[in-house]
Structure 1
Amino acid sequence: MDFLYVKALHIIFIVTWFAGLFYIVRLFMYHVEAEKKTEPAKEILQTQYKLMSKRLWYIITWPSAILASIFGFWMLYKNPHYLEMPWMHIKLTFVLALYVYHGFCHKIYKQLQNNIIKYTAFKLRIINEAPTLILFAVVFLVTLKSAINWIWGVVGIILFGVLLMLGIRLYKKIREKRSWEKAEREVLESDHKKE
């Protein structure tokens, strides 16, 4: 197979792998949030999220991770000189980090399938940002190769991570404020109806 076809397939499966990793944690969040619902809504929602997670995890995310790796190693086999380039070593380190994250998500997936909830929705929102940082790092690394100044690159990734965390905290505060205002409105409306 021509190198460019292998490269195209590698990129396609990287995209679907990341899509699966981004969405699976969203499903985990929804599953955890459904725990606060009353029956039968709680059971209906959690059963649906389990099914959606199972399909996403085993039909899209795992196969994409495996195929992205197969085509990536195929590219290295066809062009072994890539392994002599320092940026490739760093990229492979990020890929290893992504597999560690994938394994961590698999552990959460198994827990939720067995009705074991160990993380809050807020913690899952933070966990969900890890692949974003890896994606940014790898795309800039592969695009810029040796032209990147690693000190500034690392500082940029850390700053991006800090901005993501601040955004998550701001989002949490806005949600809490809205739910508090909604509860306050409901109390006022209830008092008004009693009069």
Structure 2
Amino acid sequence: MLYLWIKALHIVSVVCWFAGLFYLPRLFVYHASSEDTASRERFCVMERKLYRGIMLPSMIASLVFGIWLIVLSPGWMSQGWLHAKLALVFLLIGYHHVCGAQLKRFARAENTRSHKFYRWFNEIPVLILIAVVILVVVKPF
């Protein structure tokens, strides 16, 4: 029963984390397109609150519950799909931190990238999500 509760909490925290990972780069698109100071300041506040208030706690919860699931099912460590999933999770953590660094660049008014860059940048977590879901559900290896 504990396993199912931890699994449910892991899924909820991953959903919340991905919501932020999808929305923050979209805010970057709008921020890069904004032309007035009031809009830029508003986007800085929105980005900071999203990153610190939703994304960071959700990432930490996802990692804690995910590690807990592995501890409860140590046999998974011998399965290739889990190794591939963990590699993608590490990439996602890196993406998360790149978003945080970009947030700081926007806050310092040092962004040099266009809204088109952020439109493409926004697709990275989608690709990772697709791969992770396939790995977890299908367990191809």
Q: State the TM-score, normalizing by the size of structure 1.
A: 0.70
Counterpart of 1:47 (choices 41, 47, 53) is 41
The yes-or-no answer on 1:66 pairing with 2:38 is: no
Report % sequence identity: 38
Q: In the TM superposition, what whole-angstrom CA distance separates every residue of 1:151-181 from its partner, at most 9, and x where no partner exists?
A: xxxxxxxxxxxxxxxxxxxxxxxxxxxxxxx
Partner of 1:7: 7
Hey, what's the Cα distance between the residues in 2 that align with 1:146 and 1:24? 32
Q: In the TM superposition, what whole-angstrom CA distance separates every residue of 1:26-84 from its partner, at most 9, and x where no partner exists?
A: 111111100xx3xxxx1110111111111100000011001000000000011111111
Counterpart of 1:125 (choices 119, 127, 133) is 119
Partner of 1:93: 87
Unpaired runs of 5+ in structure 2? none
Partner of 1:23: 23
- Residue 118 of structure 1: how far off its partner (Å): 1.9
Q: State the TM-score, normalizing by the size of structure 2.
A: 0.97
- Residue 146 of structure 1: how far off its partner (Å): 2.6
- Residue 4 of structure 1: how far off its partner (Å): 0.4
State which structure, 1 or 2, has the greater radius of gyration over its C-alpha atoms.
Answer: 1
Counterpart of 1:134 (choices 128, 135, 141) is 128
Hey, what's the Cα distance between the residues in 1 that align with 2:108 and 2:27? 15
Hey, what's the Cα distance between the residues in 2 that align with 1:65 and 1:109? 17
Higher relative contact order (CA closer than 8 Å, sequence separation 6+): 2
Letter of the 2:63 counterpart: S
Q: In the TM superposition, what whole-angstrom CA distance separates every residue of 1:77-108 from its partner, at most 9, and x where no partner exists?
A: 11111111110000000101101111111110
Q: In the TM superposition, what whole-angstrom CA distance separates every residue of 1:92-128 from its partner, at most 9, and x where no partner exists?
A: 0010110111111111011001111121100010011
Unpaired runs of 5+ in structure 1? 148-195
Letter of the 2:110 counterpart: I
Counterpart of 2:96 (choices 88, 92, 102) is 102
Pairwise CA RMSD: 1.1
